[in-house]
């Protein structure tokens, strides 16, 4: 019965609604990889706090108290945070296995951070301009504009429209991208552990899906920056793509 299914709370694009956000993508990939039936409940940014606050404690000491992904498991269990969800699901559904703390985990996290930080101006402005509904756009003006110290339009002008700004962002991501390529290729691919899937695959796969959802220009710039290494990222992307559904109405 539908009411007995797990519910994944995810942030939609504007109509027609599709997933795009990389943190919720991790849980979507996880549930599909584990073969767990679920349905999607879409929450625009301003709806996240009001929907979750009766069920989960806020994130301590953080200006953002409630985030997605979150899931609702029949029996009235709510879990917020992609990693907490992954640990819980690994306990309730040990098969197929999904090792989380692999030897790649810490170097992977550091590389992913170093890739994403210089790209923030690119993806914040393009998510705002291309993907979000007007409701979520209004929320981003209140939260991401102070974060970036400028309007979304200024951010886009500086990091996307201005080709020098665009090139500078991708250039800064190039070295950690080379590190990520080496880590992903180390055991022969398509996954970080070779033929076995582990948590970093779902996280990195989510980021590649996110780039793709923003646009061919973004995924294309990433792959160009990866140079000859682009094939290993494309193999991972195709390796996780089959787990990216479950939202279609
Ligand atoms: N550590 C968290 C991060 C989640 C996160 O930051 N989610 C963003 C969407 S990608 C969010 O919900 N932000 C809410 C807000 O900015 O108010 C996880 O992996 O679950």
CATH code at position 17: 3.40.30.10
Quote the pLDDT of residue 62.
Answer: 83
Is residue 181 within 8 Å of residue 226, measured between CB atoms? yes
For residue 81, give the ligand 1 atom closest to its CA. Answer: 20
Say which DSSP state 229 is in. Answer: G
In this structure, the answer to whether residues 184 and 137 fall within a common structural domain is yes
> Do residues 209 and 114 both lie within one domain?
yes
Residue 247 maps to a domain: no
Distance 171 CA to ligand 1 centre (A): 26
- On whether both 210 and 184 belong to a single domain, the answer is yes
Q: pLDDT tens digits for the chain (249 residues)?
A: 456 899 999 999 999 999 999 999 999 999 999 999 999 999 999 999 999 999 999 998 888 999 999 999 999 999 999 999 999 999 999 999 999 999 999 999 999 999 999 999 999 999 999 999 999 999 999 999 999 999 999 999 999 999 999 999 999 999 999 999 999 999 999 999 999 999 999 999 999 999 999 999 999 999 999 999 999 999 999 999 999 999 997
Residue nearest to atom 10 of ligand 1 (CA): 23
> Does 213 lie in the same domain as 129?
yes
Select from 83, 68, 8 the least CA-distant residue to 38. 8
Q: Are residues 126 and 223 in the same domain?
A: yes
Question: Angle at the Cα of 117 (from 116 to 121), degrees rounded to 5?
Answer: 95
Q: Are 169 and 216 contacting, i.e. CB atoms less than 8 angstroms apart?
A: no
Could you say which of 45, 62, 92 is where a domain stops? 92
The alpha carbon of 69 and the centre of ligand 1 are apart by a number of angstroms equal to 7
What range defines the domain where residue 215 resides? Answer: 105-241
Could you tell me the distance, in angstroms and rounded to a whole number, from the CA of residue 23 to the centre of ligand 1? Answer: 6
Category of 152 on φ-ψ map: left (φ > 0), alpha (ψ -120 to 50) or beta: alpha
Q: How far is the CA of 201 from the centre of ligand 1 (A)?
A: 19
Query: CA 39 to CA 225: how far, in whole Å?
Result: 36
3-class DSSP state of 194: strand
Looking at the structure, do residues 80 and 147 belong to the same domain, yes or no?
no
For ligand 1, mutation pick of 11, 63, 64 (most atoms within 8 Å of CB): 64
Q: Are residues 28 and 129 in the same domain?
A: no
On whether both 141 and 232 belong to a single domain, the answer is yes
The reply to whether 60 falls in a domain is yes
> Is 28 within 8 Å of 243 (Cβ atoms)?
yes
Number of domains observed in the structure of the chain: 2
Ligand 1 centre distance from Cα of residue 68 (Å): 5
Q: Give residue ranges with CB within 6 A of ligand 1.
A: 21, 23, 45, 48, 64, 67-69, 81-82, 143
* Rounded to 5°, angle at Cα 189 from 204 and 171: 50
Residue 55 lies in a domain: yes
Q: What is the pLDDT of residue 63?
A: 84
Nearest atom in ligand 1 to the alpha carbon of residue 21 is: 10
Residue with the smallest CA separation from ligand 1 atom 14 is: 67
Pairing status of strand 70-73 against strand 38-42: unpaired
165 domain residue, yes or no: yes
Compute the C-alpha angle 4/241/64, nearest 5°.
65
Using CA positions, which residue lies closest to atom 9 of ligand 1?
A: 68
* 180 close to 208: Cβ distance less than 8 angstroms: no
Q: What are 98's two structure tokens? A: 């999904």
């Amino acid at each position: 019965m539908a009411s007995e299914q797990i519910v994944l709370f995810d942030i939609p694009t504007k109509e027609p609604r599709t997933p795009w956000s990389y943190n919720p993508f991790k849980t979507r990939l996880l549930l599909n990889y584990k073969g767990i039936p679920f349905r999607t409940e879409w929450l625009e940014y301003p709806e996240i706090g009001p929907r979750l606050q009766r069920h989960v404690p806020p994130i301590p000491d953080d200006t953002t108290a409630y985030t997605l992904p979150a899931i609702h498991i029949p029996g009235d269990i709510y879990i917020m945070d992609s990693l907490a969800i992954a640990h819980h699901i690994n306990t309730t559904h040990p098969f197929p296995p999904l090792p989380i703390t692999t030897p790649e985990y810490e170097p992977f996290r550091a590389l992913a951070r170093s890739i994403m930080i210089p790209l923030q101006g690119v993806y914040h402005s393009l998510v705002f301009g291309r993907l979000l509904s007007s409701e979520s756009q209004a929320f981003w003006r209140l939260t991401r504009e102070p974060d970036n110290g400028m309007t979304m339009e200024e951010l886009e002008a500086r990091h996307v429209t201005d080709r020098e700004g665009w090139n500078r962002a991708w250039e800064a991501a190039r070295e950690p991208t080379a590190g990520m390529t080496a880590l992903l290729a180390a055991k022969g691919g398509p996954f970080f552990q070779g033929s076995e899937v582990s948590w970093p695959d779902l996280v990195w796969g989510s980021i590649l899906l996110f780039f793709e959802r923003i646009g061919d220009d973004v995924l294309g710039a990433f792959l160009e920056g990866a140079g000859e290494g682009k094939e290993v990222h494309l193999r991972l992307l195709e390796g996780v793509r089959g787990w990216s559904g479950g939202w279609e109405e």
